[in-house]
A and B are shown apart, each in its own frame.
Chain A
Amino acid sequence: MFARVLDRELKKGSAELLIMSLVEARPRHGYEISKLIESRSGGVLKFNVASLYPLLYRLERRGWILGKWVEKAGQRRRRYYRLTVDGKKVLAEQRHTWREFVEAINRITEQENA
Chain B
Amino acid sequence: MPEWKTEIVARLGALELSPVREAEIVEELSQHLDDRYEEMLASGATDEEARRAARAELSGSQLLAEELRRVERRDEPPRVVLGQGRRGNMFADFWQDLRYGARVLGKQPGFTAVALLTLALGTGANAAIFRLLDAVRLRALPVAHAEQLAEVRITDMKGARGRFQSWHPALTNPIWEQVRDRQQAFSGVFAWGADEFNLGTGSEVRPVRGLWVSGDFFNVLGVRPQLGRVFTTADDRRGCDAAGAVLSHQFWQREFGGDPSIVGRKLSLDDHSFEIVGVTPESFYGPEVGRSFDVAVPICADALVNGKDNRLDAGTTWWLIVMGRLKPGWTTEQASAQLNAISSGVFETTVSPKYPAESVPQYLGFKLAAYPAASGISQVRETYEKPLWMLMWIAGLVLLVACANLANLLLARANAREREIAVRLALGASRSRIVRQLLAESLLLAVAGSLIGVLLAGFLSEFLIKFLSTEGDRLFVDLRPDWTVLGFTAGMAILTCVLFGLMPALRATRVAPLEAMKAGGRGLTAGRERFSLRRALVVAQVALSLVLVVGALLFSRSLAKLLTADVGFKQEGVLIAQVGSVRLNLPQESRLAFKRELLERIRAVPGVTSAARADIIPLSGNGNFNNVWMDGADPAGKKGVAWSRISSDYFKTLNTPLVAGRDFDEHDTPTSTKVAIVSEEFARQIGGGANPVGQSFWVEASPNDPQTRYEIVGLARNTKYDNVREDFQPIAYFPLAQAPRLGQFDQILVSSGAPLGQLTEGVKRAIGEASPQTTINFQVLREQIQNSLMRDRLMATLSGFFGLLALVLACVGLYGIMSYSVASRTNELGIRMALGAQAGDVRRMILRESLLLVLIGVAVGLPAAFVATRFTSALLFGLTPNDPVSITLAALAMLAVALLAGYLPARRASRVDPMVALRYE
Contact = CB atoms under 8 A, between A and B. Distances in A.
A31 B71 CA distance: 20
A50 B28 contact: no
Q: Determine which residue in B25, B29, B71, B72 has the highest number of CB atoms from chain A within 10 A of its CB, and name it.
A: B71
Interface string B54-79: 00111111011001101110110000
What DSSP secondary structure best describes chain A's contact surface?
A: helix
Interface in B22-78: 24-25, 28-29, 31-33, 35-36, 56-61, 63-64, 67-68, 70-72, 74-75
Interface in A2-38: 29-31, 34
Contacts of A88: none
A63 to B, nearest CB: 10
Contact of B71 (A30, A49, A61): A61
Contact of A53 (B35, B64, B74, B75): B64
Nearest to A47: B57
B36 A31 contact: yes
A12 B57 CA distance: 20
A32 to B, nearest CB: 9
B29 A49 contact: yes
A48 B58 contact: yes
**Closest 6 A/B residue pairs (Cβ):** A54-B67, A50-B64, A31-B35, A49-B57, A48-B57, A50-B60
A78 B72 contact: no
B310 to A, nearest CB: 96
Given A48-B58, A62-B75, A53 B25 contact: yes
5 contacts: A30-B31, A53-B28, A53-B29, A54-B67, A78-B31
B69 to A, nearest CB: 9
A58 interface: yes
Contact of A49 (B24, B64, B72, B75): B64
B60 A51 contact: yes
B59 A50 contact: yes
Contacts of B70: 54
Nearest to A60: B71
Contact of A50 (B35, B58, B75): B58
Interface of A: 29-31, 34, 48-51, 53-55, 57-58, 61-62, 76, 78-79
Contacts of B36: 31
B342 to A, nearest CB: 96
A29 to B, nearest CB: 8
Contacts of A79: 24, 28, 31
Contacts of A57: 25, 68, 71-72
Contacts of A54: 63-64, 67-68, 70-71
A83 to B, nearest CB: 18
B56 A48 contact: yes
Contacts of B56: 48
Contacts of A51: 60, 63-64, 67
A15 to B, nearest CB: 12
Contacts of A78: 31
A49 B63 contact: no
A40 B876 CA distance: 100
Interface string B1-27: 000000000000000000000001100
A49 B67 contact: no
B871 to A, nearest CB: 69
Report the interface size class on chain B. 20 to 34
Contacts of A34: 32
A31 B63 CA distance: 19
A87 to B, nearest CB: 15
Given A54-B64, A57-B71, A62-B75, A49 B58 contact: yes
A54 B61 CA distance: 11
A48 B29 CA distance: 10
A50 B61 contact: yes
Nearest to A33: B32
Interface in B747-770: none
Residue among A29, A34, A49, A76 with max Cβ neighbours from chain B (10 Å):
A49
A53 B24 CA distance: 12
A76 B31 contact: yes
Contacts of A50: 57-61, 63-64, 67
A103 to B, nearest CB: 32
Nearest to A50: B64
A69 to B, nearest CB: 8
Given A50-B61, A50-B63, 19 more contacts: A29-B31, A30-B28, A31-B31, A31-B32, A31-B35, A34-B32, A49-B29, A49-B58, A50-B58, A50-B60, A51-B60, A51-B67, A53-B28, A57-B25, A57-B71, A58-B67, A62-B75, A76-B31, A79-B28
Contacts of B72: 57, 61
B75 A48 contact: no
Nearest to B29: A49
A68 to B, nearest CB: 12
A32 B71 CA distance: 22
A13 B36 CA distance: 26
A95 B660 CA distance: 117
A84 to B, nearest CB: 15
B202 to A, nearest CB: 85
Contacts of B71: 54, 57-58, 61
Nearest to A49: B57
A3 to B, nearest CB: 25
A16 B58 CA distance: 20
Given A61-B75, A62-B75, A49 B32 contact: yes
B17 to A, nearest CB: 11
Nearest to A67: B28
A58 B317 CA distance: 103
B54 to A, nearest CB: 9
Contacts of A55: 67
Of the candidates A48, A50, A58, A79, the one having the most CB atoms from chain B within 10 angstroms of its own CB is: A50
B35 A48 contact: no
Nearest to B69: A54
Most buried by B among A30, A53, A78: A53
Nearest to B63: A50
Contact of A48 (B24, B59, B68, B74): B59
A79 B70 CA distance: 21
Nearest to A76: B31
Contacts of A58: 67, 71
A30 B31 CA distance: 9
A80 B645 CA distance: 110
Contacts of B28: 30, 53, 79
Contacts of B61: 49-50
Contacts of B64: 49-51, 53-54
Contacts of B31: 29-31, 76, 78-79
A48 B60 contact: yes
B425 to A, nearest CB: 30
Contacts of A76: 31
A102 to B, nearest CB: 27
A53 B12 CA distance: 12
A55 B32 CA distance: 15
A112 to B, nearest CB: 36
B70 to A, nearest CB: 7
Interface in B667-701: none
Interface in B453-492: none
B24 to A, nearest CB: 8
B143 to A, nearest CB: 72
Nearest to A69: B24
A30 B67 contact: no
Nearest to B35: A31
